[in-house]
Structure 1
Amino acid sequence: MEIENRRRLHVISTGQQSREVLVEISKTIHPYIDMLHIREKTWTAAELIETVDELTAAGIPLRKLCINDRADIAWMKHVRGVQLSHHSAPVALVKERFPTLKVGSSVHSMQEALWACDEGADFLLYGNIYETTSKPGKQGTGIVNLEDIVLNIPLPIIAIGGITPGRVEDILRTGAKGIAVLSGIFLSEDPLEAVRAYYMAIHKEVKQLGETI
C-alpha cells in the first residue's frame, strides 16, 4: 500500500474557511503534501462534490484527496480515500461497500485503535498528541502513548494534534508514518511558508533515520 512507503504529511481543512479560500490554499500547498482531507461538517453533498471538482481543476490529483465521513461521495468522485470517526459508518461496512477506497479511522486510545484495525482500516489518525487550539481543554495523549500505539498496531499511524515543525523529530522517532496538520497550515498567515516548514522537517528527520524519501 503506497501510504506505507514513506513518511507522510496530511493536511486537514478546518471548517472555518470558504470553499474559495480552501481551494486557493490547497492549490498553493499541494506539491508539498501527501493527503488533503476535506473535513467540512456543515457542507452539503453538493458543496463537497463541487469542491472536489474545483480542486482537481486546480491541478490537485485525486490520489491526494480524502473526504471525511462521506464514503459515498469519495467513491463517486474517485478520490483516494475516506476518513472515518466515531460517528461515521462502521469501517468494515465501508470497506465492504466501497472496496476501492483507502479507509482511515480517527482514534484516541489503544482500544479504539485495536477496534479500527480489526475492522479493516487502512491507516489511523491518532491524537491529539499535544494540546491544541482545535480541541481546547483536552490534554494531549503524549509521545509515550503514541509510541505504544505504533508498536502494537500493525497499521500506518498518522499523528495529529498540536504538532509543530519543531516537534516532528519526536513524532517520527516513535515510528509513526506521518503527521496531520489543520490550523498550523490552513490558518497560517502564510500557508506556503508553513507547509514548507513541515515538509522540510519531515524530510530532514527521515534522512536522519536512514529512510528512503
Structure 2
Amino acid sequence: MAEIHLISDGRLAPGEFINLAAAVYPLVDYIHLREKHRSALELLDMAKQLLLAGVPASSLVINDRLDVALAAGAGAVQLAWNSLPPAAARAAAPRLRLGRSVHSAAEAAEAGLQGADYCLFGHVFPTACKPGQQERGLGLLGEAVRCSRIPLIAIGGIEPGNAGQVIRQGAAGIAVMSGICGAGDAVSAARAYRLAVQEA
C-alpha cells in the first residue's frame, strides 16, 4: 500500500504539532520532524515528546540531523541536498532508514546508488512552500520513478484530489505538509489522504 509521510511545516508550536501528530499517526505511515529553525536540543525534546505521545519510533523521521535521529532512537533520517551524503550517513548509522531529498531523475538514480532506502521527490505541483519555483510535474515524476532503484515518495502541492495521479505514476507514496498541518481538522484531512491513496 502507498505510504503517507506527514512532514512538520515549522509553523506550529512544538506542543501543537505533537498533539496533531498524536491524533493523526494511526492514519499516516511516517512523521517527519522538519524544523530547520530549531536547535538540536529543541529537536531532541520534540522527538522525545512525540514518542511519549505514542508515535512509534519506527515511524519517526528526523530531517537533516543524523545526530538527533540517533540520540532520539528515531527510525529514520531525511537527508536534504546539503546534508551528509547517504554513503556517509550509512557508514555512521548502518541500521537507520535513510531518505534522500531529490529534484530530478538523475538525483533519484544517484540516491539509490549511494545507499538511500527511499527518496523524496518534488515539488510535483505548485505549492506555497516554494513560491516562484517551477513545479516538476507528473511527467518528470514518472521519469524519476523509472530511473530510481528505490521507492520514491512524491511531495509538493499534493491534495486528496490529485494524490491518485501521483500514485498512478508509480510513486510509492506521498508526503504532505500544509495539507494536514494547516487543515482546520487534521484528522479528517489525514483520513481523506488515506482514502485517496487506497482508491488509487
Structure 2: runs of 5 or more not aligned: none
Counterpart of 2:36 in structure 1: which amino acid?
K
Following TM superposition, by how much is the alpha carbon of 1:114 offset from its aligned partner in structure 2, in angstroms? 2.3
Match of 2:112 in 1: 117
2:164 corresponds, among 148, 169, 175, to 169
2:93 and 2:173 mapped to 1: Cα distance?
Answer: 25
Total equivalences in the alignment: 200
Structure 1: runs of 5 or more not aligned: 1-5, 206-213
Structure 1 residue ranges, 4+ long, deviating more than 4 angstroms after superposition: none
Following TM superposition, by how much is the alpha carbon of 1:181 offset from its aligned partner in structure 2, in angstroms? 0.3
Following TM superposition, by how much is the alpha carbon of 1:57 offset from its aligned partner in structure 2, in angstroms? 1.1
Match of 2:75 in 1: 80
Counterpart check, 1:193 vs 2:188: yes
Match of 2:7 in 1: 12
2:108 and 2:195 mapped to 1: Cα distance?
Answer: 29
Following TM superposition, by how much is the alpha carbon of 1:115 offset from its aligned partner in structure 2, in angstroms? 2.2
Counterpart check, 1:184 vs 2:195: no
Identical counterparts, % of pairs = 39
Following TM superposition, by how much is the alpha carbon of 1:133 offset from its aligned partner in structure 2, in angstroms? 0.5
Which runs of structure 2 are paired with 1:51-70 in the superposition (5 Å)? 51-70=46-65
Q: TM-score, normalised by structure 2?
A: 0.97
Q: What per-residue deviation string (whole Å, max 9, x for no partner) do you get for residues 155-199 of structure 1?
A: 100000001101111111111100000001001111111111001
Counterpart of 2:78 in structure 1: which amino acid?
Q
Q: TM-score, normalised by structure 1?
A: 0.92
Counterpart check, 1:91 vs 2:64: no
1:88 and 1:170 mapped to 2: Cα distance?
Answer: 30
Counterpart check, 1:139 vs 2:134: yes
Match of 1:22 in 2: 17
2:114 and 2:44 mapped to 1: Cα distance?
Answer: 27
Match of 1:38 in 2: 33
Following TM superposition, by how much is the alpha carbon of 1:111 offset from its aligned partner in structure 2, in angstroms? 2.2
Following TM superposition, by how much is the alpha carbon of 1:127 offset from its aligned partner in structure 2, in angstroms? 0.7
Following TM superposition, by how much is the alpha carbon of 1:126 offset from its aligned partner in structure 2, in angstroms? 0.2
Following TM superposition, by how much is the alpha carbon of 1:76 offset from its aligned partner in structure 2, in angstroms? 2.0
Report the aligned-residue RMSD: 0.9
